[in-house]
A and B are shown apart, each in its own frame.
Chain A
Amino acid sequence: MFDSIIQNLFNALQWGSFYSLIALGYTLVYGVLRLINFAHGDIFMVGAYIAYFIAIFILKEATGLSGVATLAMVIPLTMILTAMCGVALERIAYRPLRRKGANRLYVVITALMCGLILENGNLAFLGASRKSFPELLDKVVYNFGMISMTNLKIWVILSSIIVYIALNAIISKTKIGMAMRGISYDKFAIPLMGIPIDTIIVVTFILGSALAGLAGILFAMSYPILDPFMGALIGWKAFIAAVVGGIGDIKGAFVGGFLLGIVEILVVAVFPSTFRDLIAFSILLIILVIKPTGLFGVAKSTKI
């Protein structure tokens, strides 16, 4: 019994890492722009596909390269390309609406549509057949009694923690981070201080999408089957995690992601798995009813 609890906690940490990484992207954009970027789950999917194509390309062109070296190239390239995809989305879809002073609701709907365009564009160009991600890391299974874990799972958990610490440092220690916090305080006063608001928004999208790209790589390595709709459900759930943690607050997104992962996994461990989502989301609902702003959310407009 004790063994299986530890094993489940470990599973939950790994699964929660993905929610956390994606929820961080939601919360960053929301904190700065007050925009729920519903296309974020699909940017995560695009990240996974970019990682797939880069990995295949490198493995084919440079045959002598080891898996680890390939991975070392795949990670930065994917993060850069996914960030570019996120920025392109902002430039093409969100910025024109913002310029015209559109109501926030229209921008959110636009985001939903962008997500659908990414999904269906992928379906149209790459077809419905699923892609199998190559194995880059030699899998090592560690066994401790009844508990078994793989090196990949440990890396996934570590990366999400490292990313959180780095992101926290960027937001609280750098000038850009200060400007981001500033925009979330007062969008109208900030340009008067000589801070280029568009640049800051682009940086926000770069950070959020790069994280989605990283999540895409790690996800593709852990669950090596890619399909165009893989980002939809996990994106929604990560959004719920961000809200439960208190959207706009990066600590909230980080904790919310792990919380959702732990709740989902432990519910299965205790109850029949048929009731998983029913019970898991009821628990989250109760949390929101008690604390409508989320665990770390503040009721005021000062976020991030």
Chain B
Amino acid sequence: MKKPYSLFIIVSILFCFCTSLALAGEDTIKIGFNIPLTGEIPKVGEESKFAGQMLMDEVNAKGGLDVGGKKYKLEFIYEDNESKAESAVAVALKLIERDQILAMVGPNSSKQAVPAGQVANDNRTPMISPWSTNPDTTKDRPWVFRAAFLDPFQGPVAVDFATKTFKAQTAAVLYALANDYSKNLAEIFQADFKKKKGDGAVVAFESYGDKDQDFSAQLTKIIAAKPDFIFLPNNYNEVALIVKQAHDLGWKGPFMGADAWGNSELMTLCGDDCKGHYFSTHYAAAGAKGATKEFIDKYNKLYGYQPADVAALTWDAINVVLAGIQNAGKITGNVRKDREAIREGISSIKEVKGITGNMKFDEQGDPIKCAVVVKINDAGEFEFSESVCP
């Protein structure tokens, strides 16, 4: 009987210690970062961390965040989830229970954001994933939000943009049968284009298999159907092959792609063939204006390279959390109550001006925001062309 008793004492001492720490840090707001600093995609974690660092320094330099007339310093805690689902869950628990954060930013990839979202939701802590595009991350989880638009949103974006820019009345689609992302997007595009332009508007709807390299038969069929443009919701490596082969077969019209095109390897693989075509994505680094340009320049100066979409989305995600805190009106010091207030604060956000577009949230916690359509210019840069809003 001795052992549990001493354990109880230790636990209660620890508990006092923690609460006293929390009380001592009353004037700070703690936000946890659940990001991949090592593992498969360390660059993604690094950019998220740098974006967070930049924003924290900026706010703290001004004396802190103004909540209900009182200034609070920001404190960001960066934890590595090693780009693994199980580590993301452990990190989420650690941030919520030990570090007593008010809100969590991350994880970035859907593979980690889906399980970590469950943890955040069960522990009643607001979470916002900057980068995850899988609908399951936020679905039926009132405590989970995101900063990126969903995959299904891009189909209509392509339809509207092509209608306006190419004056398109007919379209053709070539998609990867074995890739869920590509297949879903192709089907959404087809449904939306048919709805807006009539049943026969999608003149060719073709697919190819895993690891295919020759697309000449599908492209011959597509070109013979004479569409106004070809929609390619495919990964960048396949895009490079398809575009080249289409040009060999005499296609001179435009292509339109989706956010999977947005990889720096696209231009090394595709070269001149891809220039002049368009794709929808989260943000455009080249030719950015206003706040986006300001962010890119600041980031570039501090860290020496151009930030990718994940840095910009993290920046926006943090701003959403901060706006949610300001909406909540006050910090009581009671973590449970504050978390609840912040969740309500985020979901009642009217609109946040973000560098990847302005956003507000629907009942699932997904942002209603504009997508950016990017043109690949003659220098091979992804240049802002226009933003398409839902």
* Residue contact A130 to B250, C-beta cutoff 8 Å: no
Residues of the A chain whose Cβ atoms lie less than 8 Å from the Cβ of B218: 268, 273
Q: A153-B248, A227-B237 are in contact. List 6 more A-B contacts (CB 8 A).
A: A8-B216, A14-B216, A265-B217, A268-B206, A273-B217, A273-B221
CB distance from B260 to the nearest CB of A (A): 15
Which chain A positions have C-beta within 8 A of B250?
141, 143, 146, 148
Q: Mark A225-254, 1 if CB is under 8 A from B, else 0.
A: 101011011100000000000000000000
What are the 6 closest A-B residue pairs judged by CB atoms, nearest first? A268-B217, A148-B250, A11-B216, A265-B217, A273-B206, A223-B213
Closest Cβ neighbor of A12 among chain B residues: B217
Residue of A130, A265, A273, A276 with highest tally of chain B CB at under 10 A:
A273
**Are B265 and A130 interface neighbours, CB within 8 A?**
yes
Interface residues of B (CB under 8 A from A): 177, 205-211, 213-214, 216-218, 220-221, 224, 237, 240-241, 244-245, 247-250, 265, 268-269, 271
Say which residue of A8, A129, A265, A272 sits within 8 Å of B265 (CB atoms).
A129
Please tell me if A277 contacts chain B, counting CB pairs below 8 Å. yes
Q: List chain A residues, Cβ under 8 A from B224.
A: 3-4, 7, 146
- Find chain B residues with CB under 8 A from A224 CB: 244, 269
Binding site for B on A (CB under 8 A): 3-4, 7-8, 11-12, 14-15, 129-130, 132, 135, 139, 141, 143, 146, 148, 150, 153, 219, 223-225, 227, 229-230, 232-234, 264-266, 268-269, 272-274, 276-277
Q: A132-B268, A148-B249, A225-B237 are in contact. Are A276 and B220 (CB under 8 A)?
A: no
Which single member of A129, A150, A153, A269 contacts B221 (CB below 8 Å)?
A269
CB distance from A239 to the nearest CB of B (A): 16
Nearest CB in chain A to that of B269: its residue: A132
One of B211, B220, B244, B269 near A11 (C-beta < 8 A): B220
> B241 contacts which chain A residues (CB < 8 A)?
223, 225
Least CB distance from B190 to A in Å reads 13
- Give Cα A14–Cα B220 distance, bound, in whole angstroms: 14
In the complex, are the beta carbons of B220 and A139 less than 8 A apart? no
Distance in angstroms from B40 CB to nearest chain A CB is 10
* Structural contact, B208 and A273, CB atoms closer than 8 A: yes
Are A8 and B240 neighbours in the complex by a CB distance under 8 Å?
A: no
Show 12 residue pairs from A and B whose CB-CB distance is below 8 angstroms, ordered by the A residue: A12-B217, A15-B216, A130-B237, A132-B271, A141-B250, A143-B250, A153-B248, A219-B213, A223-B213, A230-B211, A272-B205, A276-B209
Q: Which residues of A contact B214 (CB under 8 A)?
A: 11, 15, 223
Give the dominant DSSP class at B's interface. helix
CA distance A221 to B324 in the complex (A): 55
For the complex, what is the distance from the CA of A232 to the CA of B212, rounded to whole Å?
11
Are the CB atoms of B240 and A7 closer together than 8 Å?
no
Q: A132-B268, A141-B248, A148-B249 are in contact. Are A232 and B220 (CB under 8 A)?
A: no
Closest residue of chain B to A10, judged by CB? B216
CB-CB under 8 A from B237, the residues of chain A are 130, 225, 227
Tell me which residues across on chain B come within 8 A of A11, comparing CB atoms.
214, 216-217, 220
Q: How far is the CA of A274 from the CA of B271 in the complex (A)?
A: 29
Q: Which residue of B lies closest to A275 (CB)?
A: B207
Contacting residue for A225 out of B220, B240, B248, CB 8 A: B240
Looking at the complex, which one of A15, A148, A229 makes contact with B248 (CB distance below 8 Å)?
A148
Contact yes or no, A4 B221, CB < 8 A: yes
Alpha-carbon distance between A129 and B268 when the two chains are bound, in angstroms = 11
A124 CB to closest chain B CB (Å) equals 16
Q: Which residues of A contact B217 (CB under 8 A)?
A: 8, 11-12, 264-266, 268-269, 273, 276
Q: Which residue of B lies closest to A153 (CB)?
A: B248
Measured CA separation A232–B245 after assembly (Å): 22
Bound state CA distance, A173 and B15, in angstroms?
Answer: 91
Bound state CA distance, A183 and B211, in angstroms? 37
Within the assembled complex, what's the spacing in Å between the Cα atoms of A143 and B248? Answer: 10
| Cα separation A264 to B218 with both chains bound (whole Å) | 11
Cβ contact of A273, chosen from B207, B213, B269, cutoff 8 A: B207
A225 in contact with B209 (CB, 8 Å)? no
With A15-B214, A225-B240, A229-B211 as given contacts, are A7 and B269 in contact (CB-CB < 8 Å)? no
* Residue in A closest to B211 when the chains form the complex, CB atoms: A233
Nearest-Cβ distance from residue B176 to partner chain A, whole angstroms: 11
Q: In whole angstroms, what is the CA distance A277 to B224 when docked?
A: 22
* Nearest-CB residue, chain B, relative to A14: B216
Question: In this complex, what residue of B is CB-closest to A15?
Answer: B214
Cα distance A227–B214 in the bound complex, in angstroms: 15
Q: Which chain B residues lie closer than 8 Å to A148 at the CB level?
A: 248-250
